[in-house]
Structure 1
Amino acid sequence: MRIAVVTDVHGQTARLAGVLERIREQEVDQVVCLGDVFECRIGKREAAGYVFGRVEDVFDPDSELARLLEGVVVVRGNQEERIRSLVPERRLPRWTLPLLDAPLEHDTGFARYCHGHPLHWRELEPGRWSPLDADFPGRALIHGHHHRSALYRRRPAGDGRAEAERVPVRFGEPVPLAPDGRYVVNVGSVTRCSPDRGPSPAWAVVDETAATLTYHHSQETT
Protein backbone atom coordinates (compact mmCIF):
# COMPACT_ATOMS: atom_id res chain seq x y z
CA MET A 1 0.00 0.00 0.00
CA ARG A 2 1.45 3.33 -1.13
CA ILE A 3 -0.12 6.33 0.61
CA ALA A 4 0.50 9.95 -0.39
CA VAL A 5 0.11 12.35 2.54
CA VAL A 6 -0.71 16.05 2.23
CA THR A 7 -1.52 18.49 5.00
CA ASP A 8 -2.06 22.14 5.94
CA VAL A 9 -3.71 23.42 2.79
CA HIS A 10 -5.10 26.52 4.56
CA GLY A 11 -7.49 27.30 1.74
CA GLN A 12 -4.84 27.45 -0.98
CA THR A 13 -6.80 25.58 -3.62
CA ALA A 14 -4.42 26.11 -6.54
CA ARG A 15 -1.45 24.77 -4.61
CA LEU A 16 -3.41 21.70 -3.54
CA ALA A 17 -4.46 21.08 -7.15
CA GLY A 18 -0.84 21.26 -8.25
CA VAL A 19 0.31 18.82 -5.58
CA LEU A 20 -2.46 16.33 -6.37
CA GLU A 21 -1.51 16.49 -10.04
CA ARG A 22 2.05 15.52 -9.12
CA ILE A 23 0.77 12.77 -6.82
CA ARG A 24 -1.23 11.23 -9.65
CA GLU A 25 2.10 10.61 -11.41
CA GLN A 26 3.44 8.69 -8.39
CA GLU A 27 1.15 5.65 -8.66
CA VAL A 28 -0.16 5.68 -5.10
CA ASP A 29 -3.06 3.60 -3.80
CA GLN A 30 -4.51 6.19 -1.43
CA VAL A 31 -4.22 9.89 -0.57
CA VAL A 32 -4.58 11.07 3.02
CA CYS A 33 -5.04 14.73 4.00
CA LEU A 34 -4.06 15.58 7.58
CA GLY A 35 -6.33 18.58 8.08
CA ASP A 36 -6.28 22.36 8.11
CA VAL A 37 -7.96 22.19 4.72
CA PHE A 38 -9.52 25.61 5.37
CA GLU A 39 -8.07 28.82 6.79
CA CYS A 40 -10.04 30.34 9.66
CA ARG A 41 -9.92 34.13 9.42
CA ILE A 42 -10.68 34.55 13.13
CA GLY A 43 -7.53 34.04 15.17
CA LYS A 44 -7.41 31.84 18.25
CA ARG A 45 -7.23 34.87 20.58
CA GLU A 46 -10.17 36.62 18.91
CA ALA A 47 -12.39 33.53 18.76
CA ALA A 48 -13.59 33.70 22.39
CA GLY A 49 -15.26 37.09 21.90
CA TYR A 50 -16.35 36.66 18.31
CA VAL A 51 -20.00 37.32 17.42
CA PHE A 52 -20.98 35.53 14.22
CA GLY A 53 -21.97 37.64 11.25
CA ARG A 54 -21.24 36.01 7.90
CA VAL A 55 -19.70 32.70 6.90
CA GLU A 56 -17.27 34.58 4.64
CA ASP A 57 -15.96 36.51 7.65
CA VAL A 58 -14.85 33.21 9.20
CA PHE A 59 -13.53 31.29 6.19
CA ASP A 60 -13.75 30.99 2.43
CA PRO A 61 -16.16 28.12 1.63
CA ASP A 62 -14.51 27.19 -1.66
CA SER A 63 -16.34 24.13 -2.98
CA GLU A 64 -13.40 23.38 -5.30
CA LEU A 65 -11.47 22.20 -2.24
CA ALA A 66 -14.12 19.57 -1.55
CA ARG A 67 -14.09 18.50 -5.18
CA LEU A 68 -10.32 18.07 -5.14
CA LEU A 69 -10.55 15.96 -1.97
CA GLU A 70 -13.16 13.53 -3.31
CA GLY A 71 -11.88 10.01 -2.62
CA VAL A 72 -9.22 11.33 -0.21
CA VAL A 73 -9.13 10.20 3.42
CA VAL A 74 -9.37 13.42 5.45
CA VAL A 75 -8.77 14.00 9.16
CA ARG A 76 -9.60 17.29 10.81
CA GLY A 77 -7.22 19.97 12.00
CA ASN A 78 -7.47 22.86 14.42
CA GLN A 79 -8.68 25.22 11.67
CA GLU A 80 -11.72 23.01 11.07
CA GLU A 81 -12.46 22.84 14.79
CA ARG A 82 -12.31 26.63 15.17
CA ILE A 83 -14.56 27.18 12.15
CA ARG A 84 -17.04 24.64 13.52
CA SER A 85 -17.12 26.45 16.87
CA LEU A 86 -17.74 29.87 15.29
CA VAL A 87 -20.30 29.18 12.56
CA PRO A 88 -23.79 27.90 13.39
CA GLU A 89 -24.37 24.58 11.62
CA ARG A 90 -27.46 25.90 9.79
CA ARG A 91 -25.25 28.51 8.10
CA LEU A 92 -22.64 26.05 6.86
CA PRO A 93 -22.85 24.73 3.30
CA ARG A 94 -23.71 21.04 3.52
CA TRP A 95 -20.65 20.03 1.52
CA THR A 96 -18.35 21.48 4.20
CA LEU A 97 -19.58 19.16 6.96
CA PRO A 98 -17.62 16.01 5.97
CA LEU A 99 -14.43 18.10 6.05
CA LEU A 100 -15.24 20.04 9.21
CA ASP A 101 -16.42 16.93 11.07
CA ALA A 102 -13.74 14.52 9.83
CA PRO A 103 -12.24 12.16 12.44
CA LEU A 104 -9.11 13.12 14.35
CA GLU A 105 -7.12 10.05 13.30
CA HIS A 106 -6.74 7.45 10.59
CA ASP A 107 -5.02 4.20 11.62
CA THR A 108 -3.75 1.60 9.18
CA GLY A 109 -1.89 -0.76 11.49
CA PHE A 110 1.43 0.42 10.06
CA ALA A 111 0.94 4.05 11.10
CA ARG A 112 -1.36 6.59 12.69
CA TYR A 113 -2.18 9.57 10.48
CA CYS A 114 -3.37 12.73 12.26
CA HIS A 115 -3.06 16.51 12.29
CA GLY A 116 -1.52 16.33 15.75
CA HIS A 117 -2.79 19.54 17.35
CA PRO A 118 -4.29 17.90 20.49
CA LEU A 119 -1.01 16.13 21.31
CA HIS A 120 1.68 17.33 23.70
CA TRP A 121 4.49 18.98 21.76
CA ARG A 122 8.01 19.86 22.79
CA GLU A 123 10.78 21.80 21.15
CA LEU A 124 13.44 19.26 20.23
CA GLU A 125 15.68 21.79 18.52
CA PRO A 126 15.38 25.58 18.15
CA GLY A 127 12.25 26.17 16.10
CA ARG A 128 11.56 22.45 15.65
CA TRP A 129 8.57 21.14 17.57
CA SER A 130 7.33 17.56 17.67
CA PRO A 131 4.72 15.41 19.49
CA LEU A 132 7.51 12.94 20.18
CA ASP A 133 6.06 11.60 23.44
CA ALA A 134 2.65 10.71 21.99
CA ASP A 135 1.49 7.11 22.17
CA PHE A 136 0.52 5.60 18.84
CA PRO A 137 -0.01 2.17 17.27
CA GLY A 138 2.21 0.83 14.52
CA ARG A 139 5.60 2.00 13.36
CA ALA A 140 5.00 5.70 12.73
CA LEU A 141 3.02 8.75 13.82
CA ILE A 142 2.50 10.86 10.70
CA HIS A 143 1.32 14.41 11.40
CA GLY A 144 0.99 17.98 10.19
CA HIS A 145 0.32 21.24 12.11
CA HIS A 146 3.99 22.32 12.35
CA HIS A 147 4.79 23.33 8.78
CA ARG A 148 8.19 21.72 8.48
CA SER A 149 9.32 18.47 6.83
CA ALA A 150 11.12 16.56 9.58
CA LEU A 151 11.67 12.94 10.58
CA TYR A 152 12.59 11.68 14.05
CA ARG A 153 13.26 8.19 15.35
CA ARG A 154 12.13 7.67 18.93
CA ARG A 155 14.36 6.02 21.48
CA PRO A 156 13.31 5.30 25.08
CA ALA A 157 15.00 7.53 27.62
CA GLY A 158 13.94 5.73 30.81
CA ASP A 159 12.30 8.79 32.38
CA GLY A 160 8.91 8.50 30.69
CA ARG A 161 9.97 10.68 27.79
CA ALA A 162 11.49 9.63 24.52
CA GLU A 163 14.78 10.74 23.06
CA ALA A 164 14.84 11.89 19.47
CA GLU A 165 17.25 10.97 16.74
CA ARG A 166 16.71 13.28 13.78
CA VAL A 167 16.87 11.43 10.49
CA PRO A 168 18.04 13.62 7.59
CA VAL A 169 15.30 14.41 5.08
CA ARG A 170 16.39 13.93 1.47
CA PHE A 171 13.63 14.93 -0.91
CA GLY A 172 12.94 12.30 -3.54
CA GLU A 173 14.94 9.56 -1.78
CA PRO A 174 13.14 6.76 0.10
CA VAL A 175 14.06 6.47 3.78
CA PRO A 176 13.73 2.94 5.23
CA LEU A 177 11.72 2.68 8.45
CA ALA A 178 13.37 -0.07 10.48
CA PRO A 179 11.16 -2.92 11.78
CA ASP A 180 12.25 -2.21 15.36
CA GLY A 181 11.94 1.58 14.98
CA ARG A 182 9.24 4.04 16.09
CA TYR A 183 9.12 7.19 14.00
CA VAL A 184 7.46 10.61 14.22
CA VAL A 185 6.96 12.07 10.76
CA ASN A 186 6.23 15.75 10.10
CA VAL A 187 5.01 15.83 6.52
CA GLY A 188 5.49 19.53 5.76
CA SER A 189 2.73 21.65 4.23
CA VAL A 190 0.91 22.54 1.05
CA THR A 191 0.57 26.17 2.11
CA ARG A 192 3.35 28.66 1.44
CA CYS A 193 5.85 28.81 4.31
CA SER A 194 8.72 31.02 5.32
CA PRO A 195 12.06 29.89 3.83
CA ASP A 196 13.42 28.76 7.20
CA ARG A 197 10.75 26.03 7.33
CA GLY A 198 11.99 24.40 4.16
CA PRO A 199 10.50 24.03 0.70
CA SER A 200 6.77 24.09 0.06
CA PRO A 201 4.46 22.77 -1.12
CA ALA A 202 5.69 19.51 0.37
CA TRP A 203 4.12 16.08 0.75
CA ALA A 204 5.22 12.55 1.55
CA VAL A 205 4.65 9.07 0.18
CA VAL A 206 4.51 6.25 2.72
CA ASP A 207 5.03 2.80 1.23
CA GLU A 208 3.63 0.64 4.00
CA THR A 209 4.51 -2.59 2.20
CA ALA A 210 8.15 -1.66 1.61
CA ALA A 211 8.32 0.30 4.92
CA THR A 212 9.77 3.43 3.34
CA LEU A 213 9.04 7.15 3.55
CA THR A 214 9.79 9.55 0.70
CA TYR A 215 9.47 13.32 0.99
CA HIS A 216 8.63 15.38 -2.07
CA HIS A 217 8.32 19.07 -2.86
CA SER A 218 7.50 21.16 -5.88
CA GLN A 219 8.81 24.68 -6.28
CA GLU A 220 6.94 24.93 -9.58
CA THR A 221 3.47 24.70 -8.00
CA THR A 222 2.01 28.18 -7.41
Structure 2
Amino acid sequence: MQYALITDLHSSLPDTRAVLTAIQQTAPQAIVFSLGDVHECHIGKKRAKRYTFEETEQIVTLDPDFLKLLFFETLLGNQEERLLSLIPVGASSTLDQLRSSDRLKQTESALFLHGDQLKWSYDLTPDTSPYKERLLFFGHSHVRGLFKDGKRLKIQLGVPISTKRGYYAINVGPVLVEREWLLYDTTAETITFHQTR
Protein backbone atom coordinates (compact mmCIF):
# COMPACT_ATOMS: atom_id res chain seq x y z
CA MET A 1 0.00 0.00 0.00
CA GLN A 2 1.12 3.55 -0.67
CA TYR A 3 0.24 6.72 1.23
CA ALA A 4 0.80 10.20 -0.16
CA LEU A 5 1.22 12.19 3.03
CA ILE A 6 0.57 15.93 3.09
CA THR A 7 0.42 18.49 5.89
CA ASP A 8 0.18 22.20 6.59
CA LEU A 9 -1.97 23.29 3.64
CA HIS A 10 -3.22 26.38 5.49
CA SER A 11 -6.03 27.00 2.96
CA SER A 12 -3.59 27.59 0.08
CA LEU A 13 -5.44 26.84 -3.15
CA PRO A 14 -2.49 27.06 -5.61
CA ASP A 15 -0.09 25.08 -3.43
CA THR A 16 -2.64 22.38 -2.64
CA ARG A 17 -3.71 22.05 -6.26
CA ALA A 18 -0.07 21.75 -7.40
CA VAL A 19 0.76 19.06 -4.83
CA LEU A 20 -2.36 17.00 -5.51
CA THR A 21 -1.64 17.17 -9.25
CA ALA A 22 1.92 15.98 -8.64
CA ILE A 23 0.68 13.12 -6.47
CA GLN A 24 -1.76 12.05 -9.18
CA GLN A 25 1.04 12.07 -11.76
CA THR A 26 3.68 10.39 -9.57
CA ALA A 27 1.67 7.91 -7.48
CA PRO A 28 -1.93 7.73 -8.75
CA GLN A 29 -2.63 4.59 -6.69
CA ALA A 30 -1.54 6.20 -3.39
CA ILE A 31 -4.05 7.04 -0.68
CA VAL A 32 -3.79 10.76 0.07
CA PHE A 33 -3.77 11.40 3.81
CA SER A 34 -3.37 14.72 5.60
CA LEU A 35 -1.59 15.22 8.92
CA GLY A 36 -3.55 18.40 9.69
CA ASP A 37 -3.61 22.18 9.40
CA VAL A 38 -5.65 21.94 6.22
CA HIS A 39 -7.33 25.27 7.07
CA GLU A 40 -5.85 28.56 8.24
CA CYS A 41 -7.39 30.13 11.34
CA HIS A 42 -7.38 33.94 11.11
CA ILE A 43 -7.54 34.28 14.90
CA GLY A 44 -4.21 33.85 16.68
CA LYS A 45 -3.74 31.84 19.90
CA LYS A 46 -3.64 34.87 22.19
CA ARG A 47 -6.63 36.58 20.59
CA ALA A 48 -8.60 33.31 20.62
CA LYS A 49 -8.69 33.36 24.42
CA ARG A 50 -10.92 36.46 24.42
CA TYR A 51 -12.64 36.06 21.04
CA THR A 52 -16.45 36.09 20.82
CA PHE A 53 -17.95 34.40 17.76
CA GLU A 54 -19.78 36.60 15.28
CA GLU A 55 -19.39 34.97 11.88
CA THR A 56 -17.39 32.12 10.39
CA GLU A 57 -15.77 34.33 7.71
CA GLN A 58 -13.91 36.29 10.39
CA ILE A 59 -12.22 33.08 11.54
CA VAL A 60 -11.58 31.06 8.38
CA THR A 61 -11.86 31.47 4.61
CA LEU A 62 -13.78 28.55 3.15
CA ASP A 63 -13.02 29.09 -0.54
CA PRO A 64 -15.32 26.80 -2.60
CA ASP A 65 -12.51 26.03 -5.07
CA PHE A 66 -10.22 24.99 -2.22
CA LEU A 67 -12.93 22.89 -0.59
CA LYS A 68 -13.41 20.95 -3.85
CA LEU A 69 -9.85 19.66 -3.48
CA LEU A 70 -10.43 18.17 -0.02
CA PHE A 71 -11.37 14.59 -0.90
CA PHE A 72 -8.91 13.00 1.54
CA GLU A 73 -9.01 11.99 5.19
CA THR A 74 -7.27 14.36 7.58
CA LEU A 75 -6.13 14.48 11.15
CA LEU A 76 -6.84 17.54 13.25
CA GLY A 77 -3.98 20.00 13.50
CA ASN A 78 -3.68 22.94 15.87
CA GLN A 79 -5.39 25.20 13.29
CA GLU A 80 -8.46 22.95 13.22
CA GLU A 81 -8.44 22.65 17.00
CA ARG A 82 -8.61 26.45 17.27
CA LEU A 83 -11.25 26.75 14.53
CA LEU A 84 -13.49 24.19 16.17
CA SER A 85 -13.12 25.86 19.57
CA LEU A 86 -14.17 29.24 18.13
CA ILE A 87 -16.93 28.23 15.70
CA PRO A 88 -20.06 26.74 17.25
CA VAL A 89 -21.59 23.48 16.03
CA GLY A 90 -24.01 24.18 13.19
CA ALA A 91 -22.36 27.37 11.96
CA SER A 92 -20.50 25.55 9.15
CA SER A 93 -21.35 22.10 7.81
CA THR A 94 -17.84 21.89 6.32
CA LEU A 95 -16.21 22.39 9.69
CA ASP A 96 -18.77 20.22 11.47
CA GLN A 97 -17.56 17.29 9.35
CA LEU A 98 -14.08 17.78 10.84
CA ARG A 99 -15.32 17.39 14.41
CA SER A 100 -15.21 13.60 14.12
CA SER A 101 -11.60 13.61 12.86
CA ASP A 102 -8.84 12.24 15.07
CA ARG A 103 -5.65 13.80 16.42
CA LEU A 104 -3.70 10.53 15.86
CA LYS A 105 -3.83 7.63 13.44
CA GLN A 106 -2.19 4.32 14.27
CA THR A 107 -1.41 1.55 11.79
CA GLU A 108 0.47 -1.70 12.32
CA SER A 109 3.76 -0.08 11.40
CA ALA A 110 3.37 3.66 12.02
CA LEU A 111 1.89 6.50 14.01
CA PHE A 112 0.66 9.67 12.33
CA LEU A 113 0.05 12.98 14.14
CA HIS A 114 0.19 16.69 13.37
CA GLY A 115 3.32 17.61 15.31
CA ASP A 116 2.04 20.35 17.60
CA GLN A 117 1.88 17.58 20.20
CA LEU A 118 5.69 17.30 20.14
CA LYS A 119 8.19 19.47 21.98
CA TRP A 120 10.56 21.25 19.61
CA SER A 121 14.12 22.51 20.13
CA TYR A 122 15.38 25.83 18.85
CA ASP A 123 16.79 24.15 15.71
CA LEU A 124 13.43 22.44 15.06
CA THR A 125 14.49 19.01 16.27
CA PRO A 126 11.41 17.27 17.69
CA ASP A 127 11.40 15.34 20.94
CA THR A 128 9.76 12.08 19.87
CA SER A 129 10.74 10.16 23.01
CA PRO A 130 7.14 9.86 24.31
CA TYR A 131 6.28 7.78 21.23
CA LYS A 132 7.63 4.23 20.90
CA GLU A 133 6.41 3.46 17.38
CA ARG A 134 9.14 2.58 14.90
CA LEU A 135 7.80 5.04 12.32
CA LEU A 136 6.43 8.40 13.41
CA PHE A 137 5.07 10.76 10.74
CA PHE A 138 4.22 14.40 11.50
CA GLY A 139 4.26 18.01 10.27
CA HIS A 140 3.65 21.35 11.99
CA SER A 141 7.12 22.95 11.89
CA HIS A 142 7.02 23.70 8.13
CA VAL A 143 10.52 22.24 7.79
CA ARG A 144 10.93 18.72 6.37
CA GLY A 145 13.19 16.44 8.34
CA LEU A 146 14.27 12.85 8.83
CA PHE A 147 15.64 11.39 12.04
CA LYS A 148 16.87 7.82 12.50
CA ASP A 149 17.40 6.60 16.05
CA GLY A 150 17.40 10.25 17.13
CA LYS A 151 20.00 11.46 14.61
CA ARG A 152 19.17 13.88 11.80
CA LEU A 153 19.78 12.47 8.30
CA LYS A 154 20.27 14.27 5.01
CA ILE A 155 17.40 14.04 2.55
CA GLN A 156 17.66 13.70 -1.21
CA LEU A 157 14.37 14.55 -2.90
CA GLY A 158 12.84 11.87 -5.11
CA VAL A 159 15.06 9.06 -3.82
CA PRO A 160 13.40 6.22 -1.85
CA ILE A 161 14.79 5.70 1.65
CA SER A 162 14.52 2.29 3.30
CA THR A 163 12.84 2.22 6.72
CA LYS A 164 13.32 -1.52 7.34
CA ARG A 165 15.67 -1.08 10.30
CA GLY A 166 15.73 1.42 13.12
CA TYR A 167 13.35 4.03 14.50
CA TYR A 168 12.37 6.91 12.26
CA ALA A 169 10.80 10.30 12.94
CA ILE A 170 9.65 11.77 9.65
CA ASN A 171 8.65 15.41 9.21
CA VAL A 172 6.75 15.46 5.93
CA GLY A 173 7.23 19.17 5.12
CA PRO A 174 4.54 21.73 4.28
CA VAL A 175 2.26 22.05 1.29
CA LEU A 176 2.06 25.80 1.97
CA VAL A 177 4.74 27.66 -0.02
CA GLU A 178 7.19 24.71 -0.16
CA ARG A 179 4.75 22.33 -1.92
CA GLU A 180 6.21 19.27 -0.24
CA TRP A 181 4.72 15.81 0.24
CA LEU A 182 5.92 12.33 1.09
CA LEU A 183 5.27 8.93 -0.44
CA TYR A 184 5.19 6.13 2.14
CA ASP A 185 5.23 2.61 0.65
CA THR A 186 4.27 0.07 3.30
CA THR A 187 5.11 -2.92 1.09
CA ALA A 188 8.57 -1.79 0.01
CA GLU A 189 9.10 -0.18 3.43
CA THR A 190 10.36 3.05 1.92
CA ILE A 191 9.66 6.76 2.17
CA THR A 192 10.33 9.28 -0.58
CA PHE A 193 10.33 13.04 -0.06
CA HIS A 194 8.94 15.11 -2.93
CA GLN A 195 8.76 18.80 -3.74
CA THR A 196 6.61 20.25 -6.50
CA ARG A 197 7.31 23.47 -8.37
Using structure 1 for the length normalisation, give the TM-score.
0.83
- Determine the structure 2 residue equivalent to 1:12: 12
State how far apart, in whole Å, the 1-side matches of 2:49 and 2:125 are. 26
1:212 aligns to 2:190 (yes or no): yes
1:141 aligns to 2:127 (yes or no): no
- Determine the structure 1 residue equivalent to 2:103: 104
1:130 aligns to 2:126 (yes or no): yes
Number of aligned positions between the proteins: 196
- Determine the structure 1 residue equivalent to 2:173: 188
Structure 2, unpaired ranges of 5+: none
Question: 1:50 offset after TM fit, Å?
Answer: 0.7
CA RMSD of aligned residues (A): 1.5
Question: 1:98 offset after TM fit, Å?
Answer: 2.4
Of 59-68 and 82-91, deviating more is 59-68
State how far apart, in whole Å, the 2-side matches of 1:131 and 1:98 are. 31
State how far apart, in whole Å, the 1-side matches of 2:83 and 2:106 are. 25
Determine if contact 2:18/2:179 at 8 Å carries over to the other structure: no
Using structure 2 for the length normalisation, give the TM-score.
0.93
Which secondary structure does the structure 2 equivalent of 1:113 belong to?
strand
1:171 aligns to 2:170 (yes or no): no
Determine if contact 1:4/1:32 at 8 Å carries over to the other structure: yes
Determine if contact 1:140/1:185 at 8 Å carries over to the other structure: yes
Q: Which runs of 4+ in 1 moved over 6 A?
A: none
State how far apart, in whole Å, the 1-side matches of 2:123 and 2:33 are. 26
Structure 1, unpaired ranges of 5+: 155-163, 193-199
How many percent of aligned residue pairs carry the same amino acid? Answer: 32
Which secondary structure does the structure 2 equivalent of 1:25 belong to?
helix
